[in-house]
Structure 1
Amino acid sequence: MHSPSAHSLLKDVFGYDQFRGKQEEIIDQVVAGENILAVMPTGAGKSLCFQVPGLIRDGLTIVISPLISLMQNQVAALRIAGVAAASLNSNNSFEDNRDIWRDMQTGALKFLYVSPEKLMTESMLSAMDNLNINLFAIDEAHCISQWGAAFRPEYEDLGQLHRRYPDVPIIALTATADQATRDQICEKIFSNQVTRYLTGFDRPNITLNVEIKNGWKKQILAFMKGRPKENGIVYCLSRKKTEEAAKALVDKGYHALAYHAGMSNQQREENLNRFMAEPDLIMVATIAFGMGIDKPDIRFVFHTDLPSSPEAYYQEIGRAGRDGNPAVAHMLYGMDDIRMRRMFIDNEKSDEGHKRRGHQRLNALLSFCEAPECRRVSLLHYFGDDPDYAKCGNCDLCDNPQETIEATEIGQKLVSAIYRTGQNFGVTHIIDILRGKVTDKVAQLSHDELPTFGVGQDLGINEWKAVARQLMARGFLLSDMEYGALKITGSGVQLLKGQESFRYRPDVILKSAAGSKSGRKARKTQDMISDLPEAAQELFLQLKHFRAQIAKTRGVPAYVIFSDKSLIDMAQHQPQTLAEFGEIYGVGASKTTEFGALFIEFITDHGSTG
């Protein structure tokens, strides 16, 4: 039997005309049986990279996913697209599981979603030995790495798969993995027999803002002015603060709900379902909320407190703007946040190496917060991405540059001290050398005899730490994640030679916390339907309501039925036949069959032939 082509599946099943970015290249490699690590930004279409090969290759695709909600949403989306998919999870009844096993054994099932805990039991693996498995897809693969902020020990067992099933290709996917995490994924899952695809971390549609904390309730309400009817997420560090923030928003007339681990499962589930269905709801949550939330029209993510790491920050803001339209990520931070995060790390029940890495990650996030210039460039440098611009034009530092001073010579002193000590030491030892402090370590290594010893006595310890963080933010330095040693990049070498310049933001936190008001203005989010004629805009809103009714009846999120982009296309072109409906963005053959007549009738009744 001739296998369908990737392009025909893309159009007929998923309703898209063309692949994006590296999707097609990755798909071709997986179809050919190659192992792949794909690091792609949120919203870049990671799922298609295993769903299309799974449909082309004969047999069953096993998708390993960390959350039941994530599995259920993907299964629902595949089924509506006409694909046989199911998940084995604790919510299933005995009858559900019996039917799923029957379909797996007869070959009727194409995709099985399962957690790593469920998959990696000996009884499950023994049953898998007798099935025709065509592909393993490991979603949220960064969970396997002890380097990462979301380490999940159960993922480590997945390293057995390539040894037990050497002829079955594996694709691991994530949006959040720095170099150390990527290396560990490749080693543990693939024994380094893998092709890496790093398609970039840039989410240019998300405006990046950071503000010094100065009365967080007042600041969040100021941020909310001008956005009364938007979906958004507000992240808080504690359950108590979550409740306080939700109340503050509700008291001012905003539609907000709380979500944290102290609530009952039923209440959390109810609030989550409302967030997925309602168009103007703000979810105020701890980090218990987020992974697996695939709602495309979240317009903002607001952090009332400093996240734990750049990975956590990137993943949390990545929930905004997945439809590609403008979104805002706004973070508050202050001295108390830093102290609190340090305490959390030190009080962890983990080894010293893990704590050391935690502090290094926190330092990297502070580098982002204190970046002297473009925030996006700073964030991308951390993930090993080298943008082809120096300023993004869509962050607070590009929109409203902060006061900086010429500090090339200061930067050269610090880089020189790192170079002369062999790039083997952390920031504390380097600062001791610059400030002329003869510690036991400095004396033992004879570092008090270096030309750079004592050349930085004019700056205090905290100032030198800020300089180091800002040099990292600009990409002149990197911090080794294992030992915290500062390393000089190619740009750092150029700085040392005088071929690059460096500007420094002095006393960022202390100066701002003293009461200087930020002049940043919340950028109004562009209305995604503003380009439509007025009548088509009205039809779009009616179509959203109609879609919500269908989604509620089926018990699935609205976007699983059709994306907003599909509805805009319908409102604009107002299809009158099934053939025309099949040309709408994101509409495949199954959706045409299932929903075509319903939506055509609705459009005929409510549209304009104008």
Structure 2
Amino acid sequence: MLNTLKKVFGFESFRPNQEAIIKNILEKRDVFAVMPTGGGKSLCYQLPARIMKGTAVVISPLISLMKDQVDAAIENGISAAFLNSSLSPQEMSGIYQQLKSNDLELLYIAPERFAMPSFLETLKTIPISLFAIDEAHCVSEWGHDFRPDYLSLCNITQTFPHIPVSAFTATATPNVQEDIITKIGLRSPYIIRASFNRQNLFYQVKSKTGIESQIVDFLKEHEDEPGIIYRSTRDSVFRLTEFLVDQGISVLPYHAGLSPEERKRNQEAFSRDRVTVIVATIAFGMGIDKSNVRFVIHADLPKNIEGYYQETGRAGRDGERADCLLLFGRQDIPKIRFFIDQMPNENERSISMEKLYKSVKYASHNVCRRRQLLEYFGETYTEENCGACDICAGNIEKVDITVDAQIVMSAMSRTGQYFGIRHIIDIVVGADTKRIRELQHNEIKTYGAGKHKEKKHWQFIIDELLAQEAIAQDGGQYPVLIMTNKGTEILYGREKIEGLKREEIKKKPKAFKVSGFQPYDEVLFDKLRVLRKGLAEEHKVPPYIIFSDMTLHQMCIYYPSTLDEMITISGVGETKLERYGTDFTKEIRAHLDKNPDISIPERSPSDLTVNRPQQKVKESTIEKTYEFFNEGLSVKEIAKARNLASSTITGHLESLIRDGRVAEIDRLIDPAKRNTIEEMFFALKTWNTGPIVEYSKGTVSYDDARLVRAYIQRKTI
């Protein structure tokens, strides 16, 4: 297990719970795992898929995520593919052939495909190592994202009685957990409920004042950092996107009203770092595996805590620090209640209202955000101060608000408890409105009793009364304020009430650190990001699939300038060392040459020798490719024989051409086409392959351009 972890994935140790889950899968036992987003679920089935005989079948509703997952697996040297409606008949046929030939270690499918009788018959004819069900909460009607397609999985253990089944989710409450296990029919599963505590996330709630200016101010603090802004409606997505574009921010929209092509295009632009910010409804994100999202903003109140937790969980999946900002205004509550009231099923309405109430409680209570989230999922948080939320990091002062609370509740009582927040505040501050005059509320005793303080203060008083359940909101789209028994005791002076006044922090505190985080060379990091993006464009994958930000940060701390040193960096496995090691060590050496005063920290001998058997991996793997080439095999034939991607073999041949060991490339590319590509390089005055492919309108592949580039460069030495 540990050998595969390092060789394939480039990691020295498992994250919490991964090892136990993998051991049970390897022992062919069913597993149920609740793990937070970014907790490393995919490795729990990808690593066994590499070790076990047969094909691991992963069932996931996230069609848009499948390609990225498969690309990431292939980059790690795992033979993987997906089957979904985005493929052409020819592509599907090729994957079925791979499946029947036992050439796939990992296959991703959507739940509706599993329901097809013909596909089930195909699965029965091939060796299957395991089934992994991702987003397993979708099978439960008690969950926040029930999908009827998932009900076809209820027969999986009966249809394949000897194959281990693992179910993974990030958001199941204990009740939903029991429902999932029962519905899927897991057999005495090994159960893991990992901690929901995402230590690297900073949670913050701010009152909505001017939403657009608040978001722009936040983005200025996170310049050039990728992030997601969630809005509740398509119209608000459109308006905010237009506004941010006018502010010069690199941003695109995403919602269900866009065409599938535009949604795919916008999501890909975000995944591949071509655009910095995406403004979206909750339709976005289920299919995003981008590891370096540095912030998530909820510009509207989430309908439930499960959705909020999952959406914030898309930040900081690489383990680095990330921000989660919620802009809360009570005007969002009636909008959500309106949609809840349209639900025909009374039980469904009741569950949704309870979930909304808990979402409001989270946003309005001045209690540690982390503690509230963890308690929702049945987890006790024992720390007094988490240090990574606005409550724990801000300045909080307890103040007696009894008198002001009595003023508010007196206004409510004297108007019959028939009015909402805005009207009650208008009465208290003595506003001269047409409605107040018509209702003669300017004549009641409490009118103007609070005119010496701003409306913002009285909003704070009402928020505290609501949060501490001294008053409540009653009614549908336009709720009114009513008093509870506790409120009555306060109004008549039989009980006191305190409020928590806090100063809203402007920036994340410097004290907020992630365990193990170290300062890194930011200049080198920017250079490596540019290199990573260029390689990602060539290989047609998102940059984070090449290397995560965390892996780049390690490179910018330890400056690995040789392949022996590079293999010791977390996230660098053998296949990635083959493909990218030379490019990154070259960039790092150039940076060190320009900055001779850089002090490189020492690492323990065990860090530097852990992979000694693989020291010459790049040299030896090129030799194997050279042997096959001399036997007359084509690039595709060598790739198949070596179980590597064609782009990897092309990389080996590039090195061999530059070294002069492959002198002629006529076998690799037609001479006439080679001459045309040579002319393009000279005409465009670039060594980048992207412009060549674009200029040729797709008639020249990246691999063709790389081979010709190496050939030209060898001739000019």
Shorter-chain TM-score tier: 0.7 to 0.9
Residues 228/568 of structure 1: CA separation in 2 closer, same or farther (3 Å cut)? closer
CA shift, 1:571, in A, is 3.5
The number of residue pairs the alignment matches comes to: 512
Give the equivalent residue in structure 2 for 1:549.
Answer: 534
CA shift, 1:402, in A, is 5.1
Q: Alignment partner of 1:380: what SS?
A: helix
CA shift, 1:136, in A, is 0.4
| 1:502-537 deviation line (CA, Å, top 9, x unaligned) | 99776x9xxx9xxxx96332327889999556xx43
Aligned equivalents of 1:520, 1:464: Cα separation in 2: 23
Aligned equivalents of 1:551, 1:25: Cα separation in 2: 34
Give the equivalent residue in structure 2 for 1:413.
Answer: none
Structure whose CA Rg is larger:
2
CA shift, 1:228, in A, is 2.2
377, 384, 396: which one pairs with 1:383? 377
| 1:298-332 deviation line (CA, Å, top 9, x unaligned) | 12111111111000000111111112222111112
CA shift, 1:576, in A, is 4.0
| 1:251-308 deviation line (CA, Å, top 9, x unaligned) | 3332222222222222222222221222771111111111121222212111111111
118, 122, 125: which one pairs with 1:123? 118
The alignment status of 1:354 with 2:348, answered yes or no, reads yes
Aligned equivalents of 1:539, 1:469: Cα separation in 2: 56
The alignment status of 1:396 with 2:390, answered yes or no, reads yes
Residues 397/599 of structure 1: CA separation in 2 closer, same or farther (3 Å cut)? closer
Give the equivalent residue in structure 2 for 1:147.
Answer: 142
Q: Alignment partner of 2:221: what SS?
A: coil
The gaps in structure 1 that reach 5 residues or longer are 1-5, 408-460, 471-501
CA shift, 1:163, in A, is 1.2
Give the equivalent residue in structure 1 for 2:364.
Answer: 370
Aligned residue identity for 1:557:
P
Give the equivalent residue in structure 1 for 2:334.
Answer: 339
Aligned residue identity for 2:300:
D
CA shift, 1:221, in A, is 2.6
The answer to whether the 8 Å contact 2:562/2:585 transfers is yes
Aligned equivalents of 1:129, 1:253: Cα separation in 2: 55
The answer to whether the 8 Å contact 1:277/1:557 transfers is yes
293, 297, 301: which one pairs with 2:288? 293
Give the equivalent residue in structure 2 for 1:326.
Answer: 321
Give the equivalent residue in structure 1 for 2:468.
Answer: 467
What is the TM-score normalised by the length of structure 2? Answer: 0.67
Give the equivalent residue in structure 2 for 1:476.
Answer: none
Aligned equivalents of 2:496, 2:110: Cα separation in 1: 48
| 1:401-443 deviation line (CA, Å, top 9, x unaligned) | 5565799xxxxxxxxxxxxxxxxxxxxxxxxxxxxxxxxxxxx
The alignment status of 1:185 with 2:176, answered yes or no, reads no
Aligned equivalents of 2:496, 2:138: Cα separation in 1: 37
271, 276, 280: which one pairs with 1:281? 276
CA shift, 1:236, in A, is 0.7
CA shift, 1:128, in A, is 0.9
Give the equivalent residue in structure 2 for 1:245.
Answer: 240
| 1:40-83 deviation line (CA, Å, top 9, x unaligned) | 11211111111112222211100011112211111001111111
The answer to whether the 8 Å contact 2:320/2:550 transfers is no
Alignment of 1:383-462 (within 5 A): 383-400=377-394
Q: Alignment partner of 2:508: what SS?
A: coil
Residues 28/531 of structure 1: CA separation in 2 closer, same or farther (3 Å cut)? closer
Residues 276/462 of structure 1: CA separation in 2 closer, same or farther (3 Å cut)? closer
506, 526, 548: which one pairs with 1:563? 548
| 1:138-180 deviation line (CA, Å, top 9, x unaligned) | 1111111111211111112111101111111111111111122
Aligned equivalents of 1:41, 1:61: Cα separation in 2: 22
| 1:335-390 deviation line (CA, Å, top 9, x unaligned) | 22111111112213x52222211111111112212224211101110001111213
Alignment of 1:497-576 (within 5 A): 519-523=504-508, 536-576=521-561
565, 572, 576: which one pairs with 1:580? 565
Give the equivalent residue in structure 2 for 1:158.
Answer: 153
CA shift, 1:30, in A, is 0.9
Aligned equivalents of 2:92, 2:250: Cα separation in 1: 39
Give the equivalent residue in structure 1 for 2:478.
Answer: none
Aligned equivalents of 2:189, 2:268: Cα separation in 1: 38
Q: Alignment partner of 1:345: what SS?
A: helix
Aligned equivalents of 1:122, 1:401: Cα separation in 2: 61
The answer to whether the 8 Å contact 2:269/2:275 transfers is no
The answer to whether the 8 Å contact 1:377/1:391 transfers is no
CA shift, 1:18, in A, is 0.7
The alignment status of 1:592 with 2:593, answered yes or no, reads no
Residues 37/352 of structure 1: CA separation in 2 closer, same or farther (3 Å cut)? same
Give the equivalent residue in structure 1 for 2:707.
Answer: none
The answer to whether the 8 Å contact 2:7/2:573 transfers is yes
Residues 187/469 of structure 1: CA separation in 2 closer, same or farther (3 Å cut)? farther
Aligned equivalents of 2:525, 2:463: Cα separation in 1: 54
Residues 605/274 of structure 1: CA separation in 2 closer, same or farther (3 Å cut)? same
| 1:484-507 deviation line (CA, Å, top 9, x unaligned) | xxxxxxxxxxxxxxxxxx99776x
The answer to whether the 8 Å contact 2:368/2:389 transfers is yes
CA shift, 1:469, in A, is 10
CA shift, 1:12, in A, is 0.5
CA shift, 1:561, in A, is 1.0
Q: What percent identity do the matched residue pairs reach?
A: 38
Residues 363/105 of structure 1: CA separation in 2 closer, same or farther (3 Å cut)? same
586, 595, 599: which one pairs with 1:601? 586
The answer to whether the 8 Å contact 2:134/2:167 transfers is yes
Give the equivalent residue in structure 1 for 2:170.
Answer: 175
CA shift, 1:100, in A, is 1.2
Give the equivalent residue in structure 1 for 2:94.
Answer: 99
Moved more, 121-130 or 248-257: 248-257
Task: Answer 1 or 2: higher relative contact order, Cα 8 Å, separation at least 6.
Answer: 1
Aligned equivalents of 1:195, 1:333: Cα separation in 2: 40
The answer to whether the 8 Å contact 2:30/2:186 transfers is no
Residues 275/166 of structure 1: CA separation in 2 closer, same or farther (3 Å cut)? same
Q: Alignment partner of 1:134: what SS?
A: strand
Give the equivalent residue in structure 2 for 1:51.
Answer: 46
Q: Alignment partner of 1:335: what SS?
A: coil
Alignment of 1:155-234 (within 5 A): 155-191=150-186, 193-234=188-229
37, 61, 65: which one pairs with 1:66? 61
Residues 503/282 of structure 1: CA separation in 2 closer, same or farther (3 Å cut)? farther
CA shift, 1:544, in A, is 1.0
Aligned residue identity for 1:135:
L
Give the equivalent residue in structure 2 for 1:235.
Answer: 230
Residues 235/462 of structure 1: CA separation in 2 closer, same or farther (3 Å cut)? closer
The answer to whether the 8 Å contact 2:34/2:171 transfers is yes
Q: Alignment partner of 1:91: what SS?
A: coil
Residues 167/504 of structure 1: CA separation in 2 closer, same or farther (3 Å cut)? farther
Aligned equivalents of 2:379, 2:310: Cα separation in 1: 16
Aligned equivalents of 1:52, 1:503: Cα separation in 2: 59
Residues 401/147 of structure 1: CA separation in 2 closer, same or farther (3 Å cut)? farther
